Amino acid sequence: MSANQIFTVGLIQMRCSDDPAENRERALAKIREAASRGAQVICLPELYATQYFCQSEDHANFDLAEPIPGPTTAALAKVAAEKKVVIIGSLFERRAAGIYHNTAVVIDADGSMKGMYRKMHIPDDPLYYEKFYFTPGDLGFRAFDTAQGRIGTLVCWDQWYPEGARITALQGADVLFYPTAIGWHPSEKAEFGAAQADAWRTMQRAHAISNGVYVAAVNRVGHETLARVGGAGIEFWGGSFVSDPFGVVLAEASRTEEEILIVPCDRRHQETVRRHWPFLRDRRIDAYPPIARRFIDPTD
């Protein structure tokens, strides 16, 4: 585990075509570019190898899944070792026949796989039919020791749940990574778009503040309309960003363009923030058992 106080995050905001091989090659090229610009921990968007196929329920899409370890993890491991960087990659995992996960893998700077996180919160909304495809994660919330320190990763819909961020931070993660694929329904954008994107950004900044950690969210961009689905599709809103441990946004990408964000993060700043805002110290863990209940009924 690195003793360095400063580690540099690289976020790859990219478009995704209907050609998985092209997406994978472009992602590897962008990882190399990020590394050449000083990134030490590099994160790709959610399910970057394909267009966002969850816009419909189609059994043929299960053919897009692959095992872990498999071809994608091997390719990521090769470039991680080549460039001596830590990589967080998001995959459609085929665990067994009929069991598939939305999984983030953590590849260390020597090319070894430190572990994986299976997405815990699975949405089911118009054009986000993830419950059809993904079995909920069963590995719990996790943090991983890497060459650049201890990091945690969650995935997209997990962004909205403070419990996941808290549990990961309590395992000593200095930074929480959120590979993401989130966007607007074009018909709703004019009325609700700004508020939706602001809520997304605000929620993750809140995770940074309440836990005293860096938060790095990396989204895709582009308007994706699947040929087999039709309709208006989804306009992915980009806006990838890194927040410091008190919610200050250190860097933020555009809503429409591919970008690579390179952001230095300082553990000494994290220490200072936590000393002055000791939220973890003042937690009343003796009073929190009800949080594990689905709902607290008035008659209970």
| Tens-digit pLDDT profile for residues 31-44 | 999 999 999 999 99
- Give the active site residue among 16, 43, 156, 265: 156
For the record, the structure tokens of 81 come out as 């070792």
2/218: higher pLDDT: 218
Find how far residue 143's CA is from the centre of its chain: 13
3-class SS of residue 113: strand
DSSP symbols for 119-186: ------BTTB-GGGT-PPP-S-S-EEEETTEEEEE--GGGGG-HHHHHHHHHTT-SEEEEE---EE-H
Q: How confident is the model over 265-285, as pLDDT tens digits? A: 999 999 999 999 999 999 999
d(CA 206, CA 198): 12
Q: What is the pLDDT of residue 27?
A: 98
pLDDT for residue 119 is more than 80:
yes
For the record, the structure tokens of 45 come out as 């968007």
The fold adopted by the segment(s) 6-292 is Nitrilase/N-carbamoyl-D-aminoacid amidohydrolase (3.60.110)
For the record, the structure tokens of 126 come out as 């118009």
For the record, the structure tokens of 173 come out as 């993660």
* Catalytic (active site) residue 119: yes
Q: How confident is the model over 201-219, as pLDDT tens digits? A: 999 999 999 999 999 999 9
Q: What is the pLDDT of residue 273?
A: 98
3-class SS of residue 208: helix
The identity of residue 69, as a single letter, is P
- Give the active site residue among 119, 130, 235, 252: 119
The identity of residue 171, as a single letter, is Q
d(CA 6, CA 26): 28
> How many Cβ atoms from other residues are within 10 Å of residue 74's Cβ?
12
Find all residues with CB under 8 Å of 29, minimum gap 6, and list them. none
pTM across the whole model: 0.96
Q: What is the pLDDT of residue 228?
A: 79
Strand partners, 133: none
The answer to whether the bond into 71 is cis (omega within 30° of 0) is no
Instruction: Report helix angle 20-36 to 71-83, nearest 10.
Output: 20
pLDDT for residue 3 is more than 80:
no
- Give the active site residue among 16, 30, 43, 46: 46
Q: Give one word for 238, left, alpha or beta, with left for phi > 0 and alpha for psi -120 to 50.
A: left
DSSP code for 57: -
Q: What is the pLDDT of residue 1?
A: 46
